[in-house]
Amino acid sequence: MQITLQSKFVFYVRKQKLFKMSVLVYISTQAGKATNAGLEVASYAAALHSGEVVALVSGDISGDGGLGAVGVSKVMHCAEELTDNSQQSKLTKAAVLSIGAQTVVFSGNSIGNAVAPRVAIAMNAGYVAGATDLPEGKTYIRNVFSGKATAHVQVTTEVSVIAVTPNSFGIKNTGGSEAAVEAFSADVGEARVKLNGFTPTSSEGTVPLPEAIRVVSAGRGLKGPENWGIVEDLAKALGASTACSRPVGDMGWRPHHEHVGQTGITIRPDLYIACGISGAIQHLAGVNQSKVIVVVNTDPEAPFFKAADYGIVGDVFEVLPKLTAAINAL
């Protein structure tokens, strides 16, 4: 096949144009700062693209929200805090068209999982849910079958919409300068769902489970909700979030938003400590991608020990206070 000089030039121009295109990353904020999930997807976007990384923020932001330090060069700021997924998707589409972004990155959390598919449909774009690493070209890797296998997903459309699994990439501080913040607005229509009130499910300063780096979890081995203080004390010493098994949530010992497992929240912390949990396969499916798993159980035959990096055969009522005291003494 012959390639003319003109076609070579056109190919080169197109390649350069693609190379310089911006990537848009949707950022959630809390108290004016980007959340950990937001900083992670901004880091992912910066590593993904050598051109301009633009963040889209809806609602309150202080300065650049800490986004410049992880590679964001510009923040498109919508002053109105949008809580309706339809409005959020319309705002995102308008931002994509405004800067000509070819890649749109979300966190694979409750907001991203609701908004990203809407944006993909609106843009006629390929969508990858649960990306866990940087792609090779336009082929992305995601976990399937509860983390027991990986799928290689190739995007063939011009625009790609990617939802990144929380805690799969991490926050990468590039030491960049503060990002420029520009006002941005779009016609997003009327909200179909209105937020009339908000009651936090966790105390101020705690990290949502999907974003938590350290998690202390407990099961029926605690024998009752009145004994959860030793779990909370260890979590406080470690700067960790607390979680529970499904039976504990079903019995009302702990709130359902703490339930991790196949039928609850899937997490990938750096450290997961399981206290008094036998390790049913449904629970393991939600935590088996943790980097380090520590199990405390009186039963040496508990299935969880087979998945553990470290195991302690002992009574949680004796082991946990000693662990807490040792950590506090450091």
Q: Domain extents for the chain?
A: 18-183, 209-328
- Specify whether the backbone of 128 is left (phi greater than 0), alpha (psi in -120 to 50) or beta: beta
Q: pLDDT band at 21, cuts 50/70/90?
A: low
Contacts of 165 (CB under 8 A, 6+ apart): 108, 130, 131, 132, 142, 143, 268
Residue with tokens 């662990």: 323
pLDDT of residue 192: 85
Q: What is the mean pLDDT of residues 205-226?
A: 90
- Give the pair of three-digit tokens for residue 182: 């520009």
Assess if CATH 3.40.50.620 describes domain 18-183: yes
Three-class SS of residue 222?
helix
205 pLDDT higher than 90 = no
Q: Count other Cβ atoms within 10 Å, centred on residue 327.
A: 14
Q: Which of 152, 157, 174 is nearest to 45 (CA)?
A: 174
Q: Count other Cβ atoms within 10 Å, centred on residue 145.
A: 9
The mean pLDDT value of the chain amounts to 89
Put simply, whether the predicted model's pTM sits higher than 0.85 gets the answer: no
176 pLDDT higher than 80 = yes
145 pLDDT higher than 90 = no
Of residues 176 and 288, more confidently modeled: 288
CA atoms within 13 A on the CB side of 99: 27
Question: How many angstroms separate the CA atoms of 285 and 314, rounded?
Answer: 24
pLDDT tens digits for range 28-47: 998 899 999 999 999 999 99
pLDDT of residue 269: 94
Q: Where are the alpha helices (DSSP H) in the chain?
A: 5-20, 36-48, 85-99, 110-123, 229-238, 246-250, 281-287, 304-307, 316-328
pLDDT tens digits for range 281-292: 999 999 999 999
211 pLDDT higher than 60 = yes
Q: What percent of the chain has pLDDT over 90?
A: 79
Q: pLDDT band at 243, cuts 50/70/90?
A: very high
Residue type, 270: D
Q: What is the mean pLDDT of residues 152-178?
A: 93
Q: pLDDT band at 202, cuts 50/70/90?
A: low
2 pLDDT higher than 90 = no
Q: pLDDT band at 204, cuts 50/70/90?
A: low
pLDDT tens digits for range 115-142: 999 999 999 999 999 999 999 999 999 9
Task: Decide if 18-183 and 209-328 have a common fold.
Answer: yes
Residue type, 136: E
pLDDT of residue 201: 61
Any idea which of 196-210, 214-228, 280-294 has the lowest mean pLDDT?
A: 196-210
Assess if CATH 3.40.50.1220 describes domain 209-328: yes
pLDDT of residue 147: 77
Of residues 204 and 276, more confidently modeled: 276
Question: How many angstroms separate the CA atoms of 168 and 289, rounded?
Answer: 9
Q: pLDDT band at 197, cuts 50/70/90?
A: confident
Question: How many angstroms separate the CA atoms of 64 and 187, rounded?
Answer: 24
Q: What is 254-310 written as a DSSP string? A: S-GGGBBSTTSB----SEEEEES----HHHHHHHTT-SEEEEEES-TT-THHHH-SE
